[in-house]
Amino acid sequence: MGKYLTFVLFFVISFTVCKLPAFAQTMRTGPDGYVRCGTQDYIRYLEKSDTLFVAKLAAAEHSIRTEENKEAALHRNTRTDKTIYTLPLVIHILWSDSAERLPLWQVESQINVLNRDYNRLNSDTVNTPSVFKQVAASMNIIFCLAQRDPNGNPTTGVVYKQVPPSTQFTDNDAMKFPSLGGDTAWDVTKYLNVWVCNLAGGLLGYSVFPFLPLNAHFGSVVLYSAFGDTSLPGGLLANYNLGRTTTHEIGHLLDLHHPWADDYGLCPWNNGGSSDSIPDIPPEGNSQSDGYGAGWGPTFGCPPFPYTDNCTSSFPGIMFENYMEYTNDACMNIFSRDQALRAWGTINGPLASLLTSDACTPLSVDNLNISEEVAIYPNPSAGKFNIEWTMINGDWSVEAFDVLSRKICSQYQLKDKSCIVDLSGYPNGVYFIRIINGNSITCKKVVVTR
């Protein structure tokens, strides 16, 4: 027991010294007047309001490192993982006027951005410099809007709550609690919660790193005018209109840190300097005031490649294209392999309960009645799934849905004992097969991976 306490104290001390800036150093705006991310200041807020919070961070960090080491050993050669992780999202939209009440299509556009970015399916991968393409990775994470609410009822995965006119929230978590004018988090062990609202002070968003045990503070907050994809109609901020604010903030929920490690321009080898603990991302501590660096660590705008700073002063420079950077949305296009390892360690560590959540599974009239009679194979597959059953009599039908509950194909009035569902024309990811026989319905999850 003594050794365990010593170990935990070591993590608490290490986490405090190496990962968090001094409380007096508050978040700062970039050259365009926006605060790209308020995560570090939010963590300080939680530390101040909960004396055990640092220990909670350390407990999660220990779990993450343990699982990350397992993943590293498992994927030592390729560092790729064929496992597809499905994470359910619930989006809480707090609105006071029509501009803030984002329509469902805009929410869906953001989910599509997440699924592209986290699986390296984004079209702007062509902008990744060749030297960094060597470490680029898909995280094999599929995000879906929840299909079941905490009471087991069907849902779109989007909650709308009207707030008083001209309401602006700050990083004090009021948006997460009804008593403060916000909306209650859904069970954080089954859902990733994202609050979309009007934030004050030019703040685009903030999150928190995993901590144990999780509670209602765990989730991401995003400014409504930086949520979604500008390729669809909508009035989003010019430099933050491709959905990358949410990509960035959810990265923090998966224990991904800013590349400059929030040590305000220092390098890992400097006294007081720290690291993001991601080996394949070059060290960063931008102390330049050249329009791209603001002198205190991060990089803004969209610099020309290669861009060097005081921590990486030679080619290829810093990885300013990384989603955890402060650059413009259009300049971001990469997660690295070691970031993927960290995310997998987090999902299999403090967020493991999400893997057993049924929140992404659409409700059925009778979800178990014919389930044991149906076999689907191979699963995962490159796109074609054989469906066979044993005791189903009469006509039956099969329908396939994507994670946004959109029907993508169907076959009706089938009489044979088998059929093939072909999803080979659709992207990698999770899909749901719904099989109907009379009044009995069952849903089964399938995975397309190539």
**Residues labelled catalytic:** 249
**Is-contact 296 275, C-beta < 8 A?**
no
The token pair at 88 is 């359910």
**Is-contact 169 198, C-beta < 8 A?**
yes
Q: Quick one: which of 299, 316, 309 has its CA closest to 267?
A: 309
3-class SS of residue 439: coil
| CA 395 centroid distance within chain | 41
The token pair at 371 is 């389930």
Distances (CA, A) of 169 to 205, 221, 236: 11, 10, 18
Q: β-pairing, 429-437 with 396-401?
A: antiparallel
Q: β-pairing, 158-162 with 85-95?
A: parallel
Alpha carbon distance 361, 433 (integer Å): 10
**Token match 């556009």: residue?**
109
Alpha carbon distance 24, 18 (integer Å): 16
Cis peptide before 306 (omega within 30 of 0): yes
Query: In sequence order, what are the residues at sequence separation of 6 or more whose Cβ sits closer than 8 angstroms to the Cβ of residue 283?
Result: 267, 268, 275, 311, 312, 318
Note the residue count of the chain: 450
CA atoms within 13 A on the CB side of 338: 12
